[in-house]
Amino acid sequence: MNGSSGAAERSGDTTVAASPISPYRVAAIQTDPTLFAKEENIATLLQLTEQAARSGAKLIVQTEMATTSYCWGSRAEIAPYVEPVPGPTTERFGELAARYDCYIVVGLAEVAPETGVFYNTAALVGPDGVVGIYRKTHSYISEPKWAKDGDLGLPVFDTPLGRIAITICMDAVYPETTRIPALRGADVVCFPTNWLSEKSPSPSWMARAFESGVYLIAANRYGLERGVQFSGGSCVIDPDGVVQDSLDVGDGIVYGKVDLRRARDKRLGPGRSEDKLADRRPDAYGNLTLHTYLWNGHAFHGLYDLRPLPEGRRSRASVVQMAPAPGDVTGNLERITALATGPETTESDLLVFPELAVCGPISDATAAEHLAEPVPGPATERLREIAARRGALVIAGLVERGEDGLYNSAVLVSPEGVVGVYRKLHLTADDKAWATSGDVGLPTFDTPVGRIGLLIGYDAVFPEAARSLAIDGADLIACPSLVTGPAVTPWGATAIPHLPHVPVGPTADHFHLWRERARENNTYVAFANGAGNGTEGAMGWSGIFGPGTEDQPRFDALIHGAEAGTISLPIDTTNLDTPYATNPVRAKDLVGMRVPIWYDPLQMPNPTGVATTTAQPPRREPALVEL
């Protein structure tokens, strides 16, 4: 692509500037640095970085703390190896950047001379010196032994290669750290990391690239240090979450390509009009800057006795993967009844059916008008009868007739009647042909199973939606869906030795977006998708995912593929060790470690106007390598 015009392109409802920059080569450097051997580490990095530059890479990313290694025990231990930025190391890599007209992300331990404070830092160095720095915002367990949390926010650096952001390792567990730079116009996120505890490239990295439509250049280390096994898998990931290339183990270079036109086209896919940024609903994200799990959830939600968390219990949830027939309400309800009372769900306390399960997919406003009904109404009464017969909660989708329009809604029904209604907030192009965007926000509902939030299909693409429910204390997020993607992605074996609970062989479901929504929010997620046989394009892969993080054994149940079926999983929402929960779904440790002081742009209708750089280089056009 050699576009030189300044014309604008359309990306869904978003106007994006056409880039005059041709696609260019990028590289991730994978090494295994050594403690107390800074000069040797830098020598290795200089050699590999120069090799990448000679091979035409214009943006080169090194691993986290690449110059010093990572597992430091104290400020005193690392003190001889910290340095300022700009400083001796950035000057050495700046010479390389000037010689080869490229940009390099250098991972190092920084000291601020004016305060003596240490940081885990990545510096972006260009032909004219340091462009800017990023200080790790979300600390892993090791940083507090020596480093302060980053205090520069989530900047974006304007360069001749496009708009570049940096995040470091643990940051990628939090969608906010990629989302905010993307909202500020980032094209590429450089990701120095020392990732561990799972086969890499991590599905978290894929989620960050996909949900915000950015390139992610991940440089990870692979060795063993002080008993910590790092997972390698350095890679370049496209804006659709697909890995271009990766390196499992060993020192080396992974090459990829960045095409700014792809990064600036935020549509959900080719031929789609849905836009992963323009379709956001910041008016419904009002709690994203609230630090609700700074205090333990039991005490916080119980404050003033206004809305304490449900006591919770050990339950069983089931998701049903079916292909609802278009327009056949009677037949669909008969099938729902049969499935709800069949042997697969005998012991279930919660049953989740797909989006529009009552009426089937809707093609136009006339069909929607014909199938719509109020809530409560005949269909919800039938669902109540099913719930009463089973002694369970039932969640299913239908067309709701509201006072102000028709809604793609999901209802939560108990044996006593309708517990709650959620109206789909983020609408697809098909939805917009007949549905009004939801006007009830992102509510949660208290039940004997626990506090339940609802999303529908496309909603799950937006990390803000699931995050809002978790902040409100959701134990479980039910997601009735009729979606075609993002595709569940397999991955091959790794040669990295891992703990026994980590699958090192080939896996069919390495990346599953709904698993990421569960683990990043410490919630259960019950994803009930349409079956592929008869539902237009529905990909299946329904499942229930536990609230554990990437360093814990996976706890989930999946339907592999698009065939109809039912899957179940135990759900534990008890508040163990009251009032200080040890149950992750109630403790929500990851939610508590968010740093919402930097999250204001998530609630802003148009955050792209925010100043995005801490420093800007002179505007000079690099010699780009045509690919």
196-217 pLDDT, tens digit each: 999 999 999 999 999 999 999 9
Q: Can 23-266 and 319-593 be said to share one CATH topology?
A: yes
Helices (H), 75-185: 75-78, 88-100, 176-183
Residue 543 β-bridge partners = 527, 558
What one-character DSSP code corresponds to residue 19?
A: P
pLDDT at 626: 34
Q: Tokens 């998530």, residue?
A: 602
- Can you tell me the distance from the alpha carbon of 264 to that of 267, in angstroms, rounded to the nearest whole number? 9
Residue 43 has pLDDT above 90, yes or no: yes
pLDDT at 608: 62
3-class SS at 552?
coil
CA distance readout (Å), 210 to 65, 269, 564: 26, 11, 27
pLDDT at 378: 97
pLDDT at 438: 97
Whether the CB-CB separation of 602 and 288 falls below 8 Å is answered with yes
pLDDT tens digits, residue range 106-121?
999 999 999 999 999 9
Residue 8 has pLDDT above 60, yes or no: no
- CATH number for the region 319-593 comes to 3.60.110.10
Architecture of domain 23-266: 4-Layer Sandwich (3.60)
pLDDT tens digits, residue range 253-294?
999 999 999 999 999 999 999 999 999 999 999 999 999 999
Residue whose C-alpha is closest to residue 81's, from 93, 67, 94 = 67
Alpha-carbon dihedral angle through residues 304, 305, 308, 313, given to the nearest 10 degrees: 140
Residue 216 β-bridge partners = 189, 237
Residue 9 has pLDDT above 60, yes or no: no
Helices (H), 499-609: 513-521, 584-587, 589-592
Lowest mean pLDDT of 45-59, 193-207, 609-623, name the range: 609-623
**Domain parsing of the chain, residue ranges:** 23-266, 319-593
Give percent helix, percent strand, percent coil of the chain, each to the nearest 5.
25, 30, 45
pLDDT at 534: 53
How far from chain centre, in Å, is Cα 407? 27
- Can you tell me the distance from the alpha carbon of 354 to that of 531, in angstroms, rounded to the nearest whole number? 9
pLDDT at 552: 85
pLDDT tens digits, residue range 293-306?
999 898 999 999 99
Work out the pLDDT band at 17, boundaries 50, 70, 90: very low
Could you count the other beta carbons within 10 Å of the beta carbon of residue 376?
A: 15
Residue 2 has pLDDT above 50, yes or no: no
pLDDT at 627: 36
Whether the CB-CB separation of 122 and 106 falls below 8 Å is answered with yes
Residue 622 has pLDDT above 80, yes or no: no
Whether the CB-CB separation of 407 and 440 falls below 8 Å is answered with no
Gyration radius from the chain CA atoms: 25
Model confidence, pTM = 0.93
Mean pLDDT of the residues in the chain: 92
Q: Is 366 exposed, middle or buried (0-12, 13-18, 19+ CB in 10 A)?
A: exposed
